[in-house]
Amino acid sequence: MICELRRAHPRWGPRRLVFELDRRGYPGLSRSTVYRVLMRHRLIQPVPRRRRRDQYIRWERPAPMQLWQLDVTASLFLVSGRECKVITGIDDHSRYCVIAAVVLRATGRAVCTAFVEAMREYGVPAEVLSDNGKQFTGRFGKPRPAEVLFERICRENGITQRLTRPRSPTTTGKIERLHQTLQLELLNEHEPFTSIEDAQAAIDAWRQDYNADRPHQSLAMAFPTARFAPATGQVLPLRVPAELAPPRSVRATTAAQAGSASARPSAGQQPPIGQAVELDRVVPRSGNLWVAGQQIWLGPAMTGRTVRIWAGTRQVHVLAGGYRIKTLPSRLDATDLARLAACGAIPAGPPPLPPPEGSVIEIERTVSASGNVSIGNHVISAGSPLAGRRVTLRLDGPVTHILVNGTIVRTVTCPVPEAARHRLRGARAAPAQPPRLPGQLTVKRRVSVRGGHHDRRAADPGRAAARRQDCRGHPRGRHLSDHRGRRHCPRRPAHDQPRHPPPQGLRLRLTNRDQEDAYEPPGSEQPGFSVWVNAALSRNEKGAMRS
């Protein structure tokens, strides 16, 4: 029986054979007896014992869900020759394997996705231990340390993150031992996998056997399942960053797109080879976004924002808030799209193409500090009061309406030809309904001592109202109100506006540094204009001015 079990399971040693014989009804055998039987039949190769190092200190958490150890391993190959990564996680107390996810690239997002899925299934651990990989920490980042996504998840969920010292793999010895078992029992014995799905299915089957049917020697031959228990009684929900939330379907912008989006495959289905995919990405601090080796420049102003990438073999579209902000030629092939789909991308809907030529266009721009807005190669003036604000430009025929929160604040001439408007950055089809017109405006003016004030049109409330009044705009005139009541000033055309009488003479006052000469022609007592010249003039120049 000992030899038969050994030949059937070459990886089983004397201790495992004693345990299996006891389960099959052969109790009482010692490990040394089984070892001698194996030596007699030459089923085991004798190796010298390694001396236990005194500086190694064994430690273990007293209860499950107190500490998880996480790491990444490789050596999983596909038939195409591509090497995949395996993201692993183990509970320190029970040796229960909580994470075993196969990915093409062990990026920070892939590691965090596997970590979040494990916490959704088993609960939030109290501590997490890992090495100093860039997926787990940014303390060694260049040019300066920065918080990575994994650290953010730990911070927001109250998880204490612990890191090993550099070049100290023995600190995470439990998960390194898990990697050895996975390598010897599955990866070395299995042929290259046909696809990443087949590899994940094999890893899941091995994980089930490791947790439930394989005794662990460090646990006195107990099963990890017997010592593990998920977290219970957690009051606070799991906090997941928006970039790791389940991908949402692209919001249809028109009724035609909404009808076609209803027939889209679900997120769980893999798209056919070469079909376009959609995925979400967070713009890094540099403003350079990389998707499967293709660079997408969005600028530092987009740092931290989540954008939707529509990737195909011909074009790549970038959407923010449901609107297309950039389109560029695609450098991706069918293999790149398949790799993106394996990493979580969903089948793409209709491409967010620009609006047709000749339609009413809307774009969004930020007004510069000088009050200008750039549209293509043209610059229009939006006004200094809008400096720094985000406005919507509605290009309708020969005019451009500047909208703030859906209300027209200014209308100017459109400098962009209609044939080139649909190619503008961020162009989208404008809604059919016209924008809202501004309502009545109320401003405050202080009436001068002469009884008038100026707001681009002269108004004369009278000297008795020489105090602060409210002026309310109206299409037929203006309403002036103060503490005594309200007065209506009808609108008058420009040629009926009161003007100062023409000057009958010119009052010229010449000022020198040491003396002051004044010349007043006849009739200077009548109201008119005065011209003051403050300069050091010679006597000849002043005589010429008098003449």
Per residue of the chain (547 residues), give pLDDT as tens: 888 778 877 777 777 787 777 777 778 778 788 787 887 777 877 777 666 666 667 788 999 999 999 999 988 899 988 899 999 999 999 999 999 999 998 999 999 999 999 999 999 999 999 999 999 998 888 878 888 999 999 999 999 999 998 888 888 889 999 999 999 889 988 889 999 999 999 999 999 999 988 888 778 788 898 899 988 777 678 888 866 755 433 333 333 343 443 334 444 455 566 688 999 998 888 888 888 888 898 888 888 889 999 998 888 889 887 777 888 888 888 888 888 888 788 888 888 776 666 678 888 889 999 999 988 888 999 888 899 898 999 988 888 999 998 888 888 988 888 878 877 877 777 887 778 887 766 767 777 766 665 555 444 455 444 444 555 544 445 555 555 555 555 555 555 555 555 544 444 444 444 444 444 444 444 444 444 444 444 455 545 455 4
> Are 355 and 361 contacting, i.e. CB atoms less than 8 angstroms apart?
yes
DSSP result, 519-532: E--TTTTSS--EEE
DSSP 333: -
Q: For position 471, what pLDDT does the model report?
A: 53
> Are 365 and 393 contacting, i.e. CB atoms less than 8 angstroms apart?
yes
Report the first-to-last Cα separation within the chain, whole angstroms: 136
> Are 318 and 326 contacting, i.e. CB atoms less than 8 angstroms apart?
yes
Domain boundary among the residues 353, 385, 418 is at: 353
Q: 318 with 391, same domain?
A: no
Distance CA 114, CA 236 (A): 20
Q: Which domain holds residue 104?
A: 67-227
Burial class from Cβ neighbours inside 10 Å (0-12, 13-18, 19+) for residue 390 reads: exposed
Closest CA to 249 of 327, 117, 349, 109: 349
Q: 404 with 365, same domain?
A: yes
Q: For position 479, what pLDDT does the model report?
A: 54
Q: Which residues of 421-459 are buried (b: 16+ CB within 10 A; e: fewer)?
A: bbebebbbebeeeebeeeeeeeeebebeeeebbeeeeeb
Angle between helices 108-122 and 149-156 (to 10 degrees): 30
> Are 440 and 475 contacting, i.e. CB atoms less than 8 angstroms apart?
no
User: Over the Cα atoms of the chain, what is R_g?
Assistant: 39
The per-residue pLDDT for range 159-178, each reduced to its tens digit, is 999 999 888 888 888 999 99
Q: Supply 493's token pair.
A: 């055309």
Q: 107 with 194, same domain?
A: yes
CA distances from 285 to 297, 299, 304, 535 (A): 11, 9, 7, 57
Which residue(s) pair with 468 in the sheet?
A: 446
DSSP 186: I
Q: Where are the alpha helices (DSSP H) in 244-297?
A: 255-261
The answer to whether residue 365 is domain-embedded is: yes
Q: How many domains, in total, are found in the chain?
A: 6
The answer to whether residue 516 is domain-embedded is: yes
The answer to whether residue 61 is domain-embedded is: no
Q: 448 with 306, same domain?
A: no
Q: 148 with 286, same domain?
A: no
Distance CA 64, CA 69 (A): 12
Distance CA 193, CA 75 (A): 12
The answer to whether residue 96 is domain-embedded is: yes
Q: 95 with 171, same domain?
A: yes
| Residues in contact with 267: Cβ distance below 8 Å, sequence separation at least 6, in sequence order | 246, 247, 249, 346, 347
Q: Tell me how crowded residue 228 is: count the other CB atoms within 10 A of its CB.
A: 18
The per-residue pLDDT for range 20-62, each reduced to its tens digit, is 777 777 787 787 887 878 877 778 777 776 666 666 677 889 9
Distance CA 106, CA 150 (A): 13
The answer to whether residue 459 is domain-embedded is: yes
Distance CA 103, CA 5 (A): 35
The answer to whether residue 181 is domain-embedded is: yes
Q: 482 with 539, same domain?
A: no
Q: Supply 296's token pair.
A: 């997408």
At position 216, the amino acid (one-letter code) is H
Q: For position 119, what pLDDT does the model report?
A: 93
Domain boundary among the residues 194, 227, 260 is at: 227
Q: 75 with 221, same domain?
A: yes
Q: For position 536, what pLDDT does the model report?
A: 43
Distance CA 308, CA 297 (A): 14
The answer to whether residue 292 is domain-embedded is: yes
CATH of residue 160: 3.30.420.10
Q: 79 with 188, same domain?
A: yes
CA 360 to chain centre: 30
Q: 71 with 218, same domain?
A: yes
Domain boundary among the residues 429, 451, 479 is at: 429
Q: 36 with 153, same domain?
A: no
> Are 395 and 360 contacting, i.e. CB atoms less than 8 angstroms apart?
yes
Q: In what order do the strands lie in the sheet with 516-519?
A: 516-519, 507-511, 530-534
The answer to whether residue 242 is domain-embedded is: no
At position 144, the amino acid (one-letter code) is R
Q: 82 with 206, same domain?
A: yes
CATH of residue 422: 2.40.50
